[in-house]
Amino acid sequence: MKKMIAANWKMYKTRREAVQTTAGIITNILGKRLEDREFVIFAPFTALQSCADVLNAEASGSRLFLGAQDVYPAGEGAFTGEISPVMLLDCSCAWVLAGHSERRHLLGESDEFIGKKTAFALESGLNVVLCIGETLVERESGQLERVLSGQMSAGLAAVPKDIKPSRLVFAYEPVWAIGTGKVAGSEEIMEAHALVRRLIKNFFPLQYAHMRILYGGSVKPDNAGQLIKLDNVDGLLVGGASMEAESFSRIALA
C-alpha cells in the first residue's frame, strides 16, 4: 500500500501561482527514490488544466496526480455553478475530495449529500478521498465514535462493496486541528485511526486492511516525519503547509 501525501490548496492560487508551485514540487520530489509513496495536488477548479499541462509535460503521471476539491453528483445538467465528474476527468483529474470539513461546516453539506458525491464520483471513474472528522465540542462531549460512524455510514451508503481498495481513501481531519496550528496528539490520532479502520471493516470486510487512512490538521514539515510513522496513518492531507513547494516537498519526503 503506497502512502499518499496530498496537498489541499483550498481557495488559494491563481493559475500562474499554481503552475509555479507544481513545477517546484516536481523538481523537488520526483527524482527521489520513493517507490512506496504517491502524491496528489488538490488544486482549485480554475487552476486544474494549467496544473495538468505541467504534470503532463513533465511525464510525472505515475507518482504525482491531480485532484479537485469538490464535485457535483450528476453527469451534466442545469446545476448553475457546479462541476461534474466528466469535467474533472476532462482536466486530467484522477482524484476528488468529498466531505471536507470546510464544506460540511461553512457550506452546510449534509452527510447524505456527501455520500451521493462519493458514490457518483467513484462510479464516474474518479478516485475519492472521503474526509471525516469531529469538532472540539463533539470530541469533548464523548461523541467521537458517533460522529465518525455517522459520517462514514452516510458517506459510504451507495458505494459498491467490491470497490477497488486503492480508489477510496479516508482522511481523518479533526476540525479543531485544521488551520489552527494544534496538531492532534499521537495517542488521539492512533485512537481515531484505529476506530476508522474498524468502521471501514464493517463496510468492506475483505478490503479494509488495504484502504488508506490519511491524517490532516496542522501537518507541517517539522511534525510530518513523526505523524507518517503512526499506526494506521497511511498518508497526510496538508493544507497551509502545502502552499509552498519547498514546505510541501519536505513533508512529502519526511
Which candidate, 199, 107, 211, 98, places its Cα nearest to that of 144?
199
Q: Is residue 50 a contact residue for ligand 13P (CB under 6 A)? A: no
> Residue 174 in contact with residue 133, Cβ under 8 Å?
yes
Which candidate, 2, 51, 68, 59, places its Cα nearest to that of 31?
59
100 is annotated as an active-site residue = yes
Which candidate, 49, 65, 60, 41, places its Cα nearest to that of 15?
49
Q: Is residue 240 a contact residue for ligand 13P (CB under 6 A)? A: yes
Helix (H, G, I), strand (E, B) or coil at 107: coil
173 is annotated as an active-site residue = yes
Chain-centroid distance of CA 187 in Å reads 22
Q: Kindly report the CA angle at 123 between 117 and 125, in degrees rounded to 5?
A: 105
Which three three-digit cell numbers place residue 85? 465528474
Binding mask 5-24 for ligand 13P (x = CB under 6 A): ---x----------------
* Residues within window 100-119 making contact with ligand 13P, judged by CB under 6 A: 100
Q: How far is the CB of 78 from ligand 13P (least distance, A)?
A: 30
Q: Is residue 252 a contact residue for ligand 13P (CB under 6 A)? A: no
Q: Is residue 91 a contact residue for ligand 13P (CB under 6 A)? A: no
Q: Which residue among the candidates 38, 100, 102, 193 is catalytic per the annotation?
A: 100
Binding mask 163-202 for ligand 13P (x = CB under 6 A): ----------x----xx-----------------------
Strand partners, 141: none
Chain positions contacting ligand 13P, by CB under 6 A: 8, 100, 173, 178-179, 216-219, 237-241
List residues with catalytic annotation: 100, 173
